[in-house]
Amino acid sequence: GAGVSQSPRYKVAKRGQDVALRCDPISGHVSLFWYQQALGQGPEFLTYFQNEAQLDKSGLPSDRFFAERPEGSVSTLKIQRTQQEDSAVYLCASSQKETQYFGPGTRLLVL
């Protein structure tokens, strides 16, 4: 069966540019999570959806970060006016019960 997919896999942005990262969860999974993973670190929680409701966005580092999941399936993480410190891998995960299944991630490099 299809797993979690993310696009693009790689993104190079100039500082100040807006970017949009897409996540397609496993079909039927209610919960969707976004994480940021810096080089050599574990994933850090950004935000969480249950269906279309964003139940927690406490991990978003600034108001330049925005996430949505309007129809309860596909989710988009948007970063406005990107900064160099935003360079990281952005991971999406979905779950039905306890276990989260991750996508391959989007590697964002801000120059």
Question: How many C-beta atoms lie closer than 10 Å to residue 74's C-beta?
Answer: 14
Question: Among residues 67, 89, 108, 110, which is the contact residue for another protein, using CB under 8 A?
Answer: 89
Please check whether residue 16 is in contact with residue 81, taking contact to mean a CB–CB distance below 8 angstroms: yes
What CA–CA distance (Å, rounded) separates 19 from 8?
10
One of 58, 63, 70, 84 touching another protein (CB under 8 A): 58
State the sign of the Cα–Cα–Cα–Cα dihedral 56, 61, 62, 65. negative
Measured CA to CA, the distance from residue 26 to residue 18 in angstroms comes to 27
Applying CB under 8 A, among 45, 64, 68, 73 the residue interacting with another protein is 45
Closest approach of another protein to the CB of residue 71, in Å: 21
Contact between 1 and another protein by CB under 8 A: the answer reads no
Residues that bind another protein (CB under 8 A): 31, 33, 40-45, 48, 55-56, 58-59, 89, 91, 93, 97-105, 107
